[in-house]
Each structure stands twice: as C-alpha cells, then as structure tokens.
C-alpha cells in the first residue's frame, strides 16, 4: 500500500494520509496505485502550506512552491461531484458529462486520457484586492470542503480582448469602483465558499475557472449573487461563460 504524508514547514511528516478520502489533493496519486512520492498543499489545510515532496517519505526532498496550486476539473466517469446541469451563459457551451473530478497538485497536470473534457487553472496572488478588502475577506470567508456544502458551481469565464487591453488601474475601477464585485461578493460570505483559478497564462480556453461550494439551503442566495454580478459593467467584458452546477456524491 502506498503511503503519502502532509509535511509541515520544516519538511517533517505531519500527518499520514491512509486513503484518498482524507485529502482530495492526493486522489490522483492514490488512484495511480504506485509509490506515492508527491505530497503538496491540501485545500483542507488552508493555503500557504504548499510543499512538493519528491522521493519516498523516508528520503524526502521537499521544495516550497509558494501558494500555487494547479487544479484540473476533469469531466468524465470519475469524481465526487455529479454534474446536475451545464448551462451556456455566453458563447460556446461545454459537452455533457456525468461527473467532475477535481484534481489538485503542486505542478501542472497532463491530460487524463479518458476524460470527456478537462480544464486546468492555477491559484495565484490577488490582482485587484486592496489590503482592507483582503482583511475583510479573510475575516469572513470559509474554506472549501465543508461537510454541509453539498452543492458546487464551476463557472469558467473568458474576458474580451478589450478587457485585457486595459491598464491595471482601469480594470480595477471597472471591477470594484463601478461593478462592486468584491462588495457584492462579501454579502454572500461565509455561506458561499470560493476559489479562483487563473487559466489565461496556461493557454486554456477560458481565462478563469471560478469554483464555489455551498449548502443546498443557500442555492437561492447563490442564484441571486450570480444574477447581480452578471448585470454589472464588468460582465460586459465577458465573452464566454458556462455555468456548471454540481452535487456532491
Ligand atoms: C462568493 C462571493 C464572491 C466573492 C467574495 C468574490 C471575490 C472576488 C475577489 C476578491 C476577486 C479579485 C481577486 C483579485 O484581486 O485578483 C474576484 C475575482 C473574480 N471573481 Fe469573484 N467573488 C465572488 C463571487 C463570484 C462569482 C459568483 C463569480 C462568477 C459568476 C465570480 C467571478 C470572478 C472572476 C471571473 C474573477 C476574476 C476577475 C479578473 O481578474 O478579471 N466571483 N472575486
């Protein structure tokens, strides 16, 4: 049986992961069934504990990889999220699929051979959020993988070339001062947990893969949130958006 460990900051094994249900990050390694040589950040342990281990746990060499976490959303027959519906919002939609497997790793991932489609993104630093906004978000937001959060939304978004032609300060003005993206979003914390993945730099079909988790009783609040954001000026710069809703199996 292969073994995997979560490492602490000094590289010492902090927790042994005995099966794939304990940490979604290791799922791919476990289903591979071979010697597990990779342990990286686990979203259940919070950001900022991202380490890559190479070799067996006994002869481990780890290198910090900052706060980057590569995440693939693999549509196919595996995964703990059942696809309830895929709705095109703007532009081309994505093909139907039964499930989505969320695969996390510290390094870029290759294509899964039998996937129906696959999207990859990477977590990153904030671009538009001010110090005070970060403080408020951190005080209010909840992490992913809460037991009660049995619904999720994956909303891949691409923005227009006009958006990308703007300067950083012009984009911030549209994003927050005009569209109030953060101010609106904060109203829905902590009920809605979120993680933003950047895909533009990975030459993917979308610029962002946005991921949200919430309890079934907060589904209506989530609908209201997306309706409000889609009516803002920021969304006039969105030229492709697909809304994928999921239930935890
Ligand atoms: C749960 C409430 C939400 C909060 C608190 C929130 C907060 C944020 C924050 C702080 C950023 C800026 C990150 C940065 O500085 O780079 C951001 C970016 C983004 N959010 Fe949200 N958001 C929420 C809901 C949503 C929803 C429902 C969608 C999609 C329908 C969405 C789509 C995006 C996109 C695409 C970006 C990237 C924008 C860009 O860089 O051009 N957000 N969000």
CB contact at 8 A, 3 and 16: yes
Mutate which of 123, 155, 161, 181 for ligand 1? The one with the most ligand atoms within 8 Å of its CB, which is 181
> Is the distance from the beta carbon of residue 188 to the nearest atom of ligand 1 less than 6 Å?
yes
Q: Are residues 133 and 55 both part of a single domain?
A: no
Q: Are residues 129 and 194 both part of a single domain?
A: yes
Per-residue pLDDT at 102 exceeds 60: yes
pLDDT digits (tens, 9 = 90+) for 52-97: 333 333 333 334 346 799 999 999 999 999 999 999 999 999 999 9
Q: Report the pLDDT value the prediction gives residue 38, as an integer from 0 to 100.
A: 35
Q: Are residues 114 and 51 both part of a single domain?
A: no
pLDDT digits (tens, 9 = 90+) for 159-217: 999 999 999 999 999 999 999 999 999 999 999 999 999 999 999 999 999 999 999 99
Mutate which of 89, 165, 210, 238 for ligand 1? The one with the most ligand atoms within 8 Å of its CB, which is 210
Per the structure, the complete domain to which residue 93 belongs is given by 70-248
Number of domains in the chain: 2
pLDDT digits (tens, 9 = 90+) for 120-146: 999 999 999 999 999 999 999 999 999
Length of the chain: 249
Q: Which of 28, 44, 64 is the last residue in one of the domains?
A: 64
Domain CATH for 173: 3.30.70.3420
Q: Which of 27, 42, 64 is the last residue in one of the domains?
A: 64
Q: Are residues 9 and 59 both part of a single domain?
A: yes
Cα separation of 90 and 148, whole Å?
31
Long-range contacts (CB closer than 8 Å, 24 or more residues apart) made by 178-181: 178/232, 178/233, 178/234, 179/229, 179/232, 179/233, 179/234, 179/235, 180/232, 181/229, 181/232, 181/234
Atom 40, ligand 1: residue with shortest CA distance? 127
pLDDT digits (tens, 9 = 90+) for 7-61: 333 334 434 444 433 333 433 333 322 222 233 333 333 332 333 333 333 333 3
> Ligand 1 centre and the CA of 112: distance in Å?
28
């Amino acid at each position: 049986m292969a073994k995997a460990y979560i490492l602490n900051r000094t590289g010492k094994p902090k927790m042994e992961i005995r099966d794939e249900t304990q940490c979604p990050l290791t799922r791919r390694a476990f289903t591979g069934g071979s010697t597990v040589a990779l342990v990286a950040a686990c979203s259940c342990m919070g950001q900022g504990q991202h380490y890559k281990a190479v070799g067996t746990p006994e002869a481990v060499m780890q290198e910090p990889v900052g706060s980057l976490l590569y995440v693939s959303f693999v549509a196919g027959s595996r995964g703990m999220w059942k696809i309830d519906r895929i709705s095109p919002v703007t532009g081309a939609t994505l093909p139907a699929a039964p499930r989505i497997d969320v695969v996390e790793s510290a390094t870029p991932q290759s294509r899964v051979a039998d996937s129906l489609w696959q999207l990859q993104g990477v977590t990153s630093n904030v671009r538009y959020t001010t110090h005070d906004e970060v403080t408020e978000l951190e005080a209010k937001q909840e992490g992913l993988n809460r037991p009660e959060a049995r619904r999720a939304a994956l909303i891949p978004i691409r923005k227009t070339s006009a958006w990308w032609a703007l300067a950083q300060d012009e984009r911030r003005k549209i994003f927050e001062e005009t569209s109030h993206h953060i101010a609106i979003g904060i109203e829905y914390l902590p009920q809605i947990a979120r993680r933003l993945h950047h895909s533009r730099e990975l030459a993917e079909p979308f610029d962002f893969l946005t991921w949200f988790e919430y309890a079934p009783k907060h589904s209506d609040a989530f609908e209201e949130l997306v309706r409000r954001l889609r009516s803002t000026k920021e969304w006039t710069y969105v030229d492709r958006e697909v809304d994928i809703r999921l239930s935890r199996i």
